[in-house]
A and B are shown apart, each in its own frame.
Chain A
Amino acid sequence: MQVRSMHFKATASEKLADRRLQDALSKTRGKFVAGRAQAILELDNFDEIRDAAQRIRDRVLEHLDLYLEEFERNATARGAVVHWAEDAQEANRIICDIARAHGVKKAAKSKSMVSEECALNDALEAAGVQVVETDLGEYILQLAQEPPSHIVAPVVHKSKDEVSDLFERHHQRPRKESVPDLCREAREVLRPHFLSADMGISGANFIVAETGSTLIVTNEGNGRLCTTMPKVHVAITGIEKVVPTLEDVTTLLRLLPRSATGQSITNYVSLTTGVRGGGEQDGPEHFHVVLVDNGRSALLGTDFQPMLRCIRCGACMNHCPVYQTIGGHAYGWVYPGPMGSILTPSYVGIENALDLPNASTLCNQCGVVCPVKIPLPDLQRKLREKQVERRLRPWPERLAIKLWAYAASQPEIYSLGARIAARVLRRMGGSDRLIHRLPPGASGWTEGRDMPAPEGKTFHELYRRRGGGR
């Protein structure tokens, strides 16, 4: 997917002014946050489960190569073909080759964020394959030719009316207004595609080393249809998604739907192992698993390794006050919100996403809700440190920090500066004790707020004058 993270500020500004988006965001904010809060009450040891989940993910990351090889052995033994793709181009080439080898004309696709990273749909279309997104949100985005704005609910930024408009324009049927009618129409339009697809493409919420299986959670049933009906099934996944055993997967599944949408469990949990066996009625004849690196292994052994624990639940963005006000598109790539603020610079280059780790108050609501306890604000700070090390920060900012730090290390200079500043700012506040415009450098504050004027003397001087204390 094309990187637009360098336009963060301008896009965020547009999104703040977008009334329709703001309405859509406030509706979803309530639903996901309240939903999760309710769902976790079902577990009386929620925090212990989070600890267990963190340990499972950390164990995998410590021995990622071994678990991936175990997965490959077990998957292959059950009739799957496992491919290793170092980057997006290789992943696309592998999947286009599979399509060509089987004469694929149409692929039915259930949701996969890593396929967005690779821009897989574009590569397949260029190779003459029609790709139909079957997750309702992704299908809507395909009609609108827009990227997703959320990793679990990709179309949260759209209102029902916008969907009605799109369906009316593209389906050549009378306009539908109600949600059930829109869903029914989507079902009717998509069903023939499932039946005529030569290849099904899925992502994987997890892959299980013990059995060589891929696992997806869906609410719509499209995942099932994509992975069992076409004669070729391709599962594309990031390498970090491997989990040692089926039992480990159940621990993670206790957290994933609750953290994501507030469901105790999704409507469908689909575990795919091998190919159609002797006597079986359904299942593909060919099952390919494409393991994609695309920058993940570069995080191993670094301060950013904890980010690879991520199980793509979306809780962080649902709870992030910044995401809640600007939506996902401003982040400019596949992954928005707090997890995106770490992954985007890590995968597309720190210099291409300078704003993302900085556009955060470090409030840590994300870290509090993360099911695998990723220390997201700490990682944002580490990226800020990297930007400083690589001299990617604007020089006025660097100078201001250095001057501040120097002054603060010299009590006499600081004390004098503070006394002057307190008086100047008090003067600027005038009779209503409010500063309406701060000078350039600080004017970002007063564009939207006043600054209450200070008392006019510093604590240091008053304390000394009072002889200490009262």
Chain B
Amino acid sequence: MRVGLFVTCLVDLMRPRIGFAAVALLERAGCEVVFPETQTCCGQPAYNSGDRAAAQLLARKVLREFRHCEYVVAPSGSCSGMIREHYPELFRGEPEYEDMNRLAARTFELTDFLVNRARLADVPGRFDGVVTYHDSCAGLREMGVKQQPRQLLAKVEGLRLREMEGAETCCGFGGTFSVKYGEISSKLADNKCQSVQASGADALVLGDLGCILNIEGRLRRLGDQKTRVFHVAEVLAGIEGNE
């Protein structure tokens, strides 16, 4: 399987190790991983701000860049959701509509791809402790990501998973919402932090870097330096601890 890695603009800028973890996992599953180097952003910030033209510009670029990949895989429910659920709608009635449908059909969130397509049998990661999992909104409600990360985490030696209250409740990130409505956003992040802390877990694991930055940022502002926050790819690939 020839997989094009869509690394996402946030991972590229903020936490490349998540991207490398994704590559390691995909290769372990036997995929040939390519990284179209001109990639930048899926266009979601523009799309959600109401600027369809800007979103279309970036979508056409993604279409071109990933033309020769059998699959497009992103370590993000939000970005893969943008391509799968929203690119076709963006081009309804336009010449690229069919192409966008085809692109959408071969775009996957990482854990869903590893479980349901690549059928990854085992993972190298180890984790001594209890983790809890946050279901990011786009991953859960657009991409159907729920059991897949949990199935994969069950393969991590030493790891114990404990579910928290409100695992499916929005953390308050919402892209530009986190900046435009910062007060409401922080309150939602706060609620999420309380759920995480109430679970007693040593670490929070989730599949979207936007949510990670939001929740980790609020934990630290609350004075919690102890609770670690990881992307599921990091935990599975065993690349955690590179701070």
Q: Which residues of B contact A422 (CB under 8 A)?
A: 13-14
Q: Closest CB-CB distance, B145 to chain A, in whole Å?
A: 14
Question: Are B27 and A469 in contact (CB-based, < 8 A)?
Answer: yes
Q: Which residues of A contact B172 (CB under 8 A)?
A: 321, 361
Q: Which residues of A contact B170 (CB under 8 A)?
A: 321, 361, 363, 365
Given contacts A388-B51, A393-B50, A397-B49, whether A449 and B221 have CB atoms under 8 Å apart is yes
A462 to B20, CA, bound (A): 9
Task: Mark the stretch among B4-12, B94-102, B113-121, B150-158 that contacts chain A.
Answer: B4-12
A458 to B172, CA, bound (A): 26
Pick from B35, B41, B47, B137: contact of A361, CB under 8 Å: B137
- CB within 8 Å of B: which A437-451 residues: 441-445, 447-451
Q: Which residues of B contact A463 (CB under 8 A)?
A: 16, 19-20, 35, 37
Question: Are B184 and A452 in contact (CB-based, < 8 A)?
Answer: no
Q: Closest CB-CB distance, A282 to chain B, in whole Å?
A: 47
- CB within 8 Å of A: which B196-227 residues: 212-214, 216-218, 220-221
A100 to B212, CA, bound (A): 63
Contact with B along A453-470 (1 / 0, CB 8 A): 011011110111000111
Given contacts A358-B180, A445-B178, A448-B221, whether A455 and B51 have CB atoms under 8 Å apart is no
Interface centre among B14, B57, B218 (most CB of A within 10 A): B14
Whether, in the assembled complex, A384 has its beta carbon less than 8 Å from a beta carbon of chain B, the answer is yes
Q: What residue in chain A is nearest B174 (Cβ atoms)?
A: A361
A401 to B39, CA, bound (A): 18
Whether, in the assembled complex, A51 has its beta carbon less than 8 Å from a beta carbon of chain B, the answer is no
Question: Are A16 and B183 in contact (CB-based, < 8 A)?
Answer: yes
- CB within 8 Å of B: which A367-385 residues: 367-368, 381, 383-385
Whether, in the assembled complex, B107 has its beta carbon less than 8 Å from a beta carbon of chain A, the answer is no
Interface magnitude class on chain B = 35 or more
Contact with A along B180-203 (1 / 0, CB 8 A): 111111111111000000000000
Q: Closest CB-CB distance, A313 to chain B, in whole Å?
A: 19
Whether, in the assembled complex, B147 has its beta carbon less than 8 Å from a beta carbon of chain A, the answer is no
A409 to B65, CA, bound (A): 12
* Contact residues of B: prevailing secondary structure: helix
Whether, in the assembled complex, A404 has its beta carbon less than 8 Å from a beta carbon of chain B, the answer is yes
A425 to B178, CA, bound (A): 18
The count of residues in chain A whose C-beta lies closer than 8 Å to any C-beta of chain B is 67
Given contacts A359-B177, A361-B174, A384-B50, whether A447 and B16 have CB atoms under 8 Å apart is no
Question: Are A458 and B51 in contact (CB-based, < 8 A)?
Answer: no
A377 to B13, CA, bound (A): 28
Given contacts A363-B174, A409-B58, whether A448 and B49 have CB atoms under 8 Å apart is no
Whether, in the assembled complex, A93 has its beta carbon less than 8 Å from a beta carbon of chain B, the answer is no
Q: What residue in chain A is nearest B220 (Cβ atoms)?
A: A450
A363 to B221, CA, bound (A): 24
Question: Are B50 and A386 in contact (CB-based, < 8 A)?
Answer: yes
Whether, in the assembled complex, B52 has its beta carbon less than 8 Å from a beta carbon of chain A, the answer is yes
Q: Which residues of A contact B175 (CB under 8 A)?
A: 361-362
Whether, in the assembled complex, B149 has its beta carbon less than 8 Å from a beta carbon of chain A, the answer is no
A448 to B191, CA, bound (A): 13
Pick from A398, A409, A441: contact of B57, CB under 8 Å: A409
Q: What residue in chain A is nearest B142 (Cβ atoms)?
A: A364
Q: What residue in chain A is nearest B10 (Cβ atoms)?
A: A454
Q: What are 28 A-B interface contacts by the 8 Å CB criterion?
A: A12-B184, A16-B183, A321-B169, A325-B191, A326-B184, A358-B180, A359-B180, A361-B177, A361-B188, A363-B170, A364-B142, A365-B137, A381-B47, A385-B51, A398-B51, A401-B51, A404-B41, A404-B45, A405-B58, A408-B9, A409-B57, A414-B40, A418-B9, A447-B186, A448-B190, A452-B14, A460-B37, A470-B24
Residues on A facing B (Cβ under 8 Å)? 9, 12-13, 16, 321-322, 325-326, 358-365, 367-368, 381, 383-389, 393, 397-398, 401-402, 404-405, 407-409, 411, 414, 418, 421-422, 425, 433-434, 441-445, 447-452, 454-455, 457-460, 462-464, 468-470
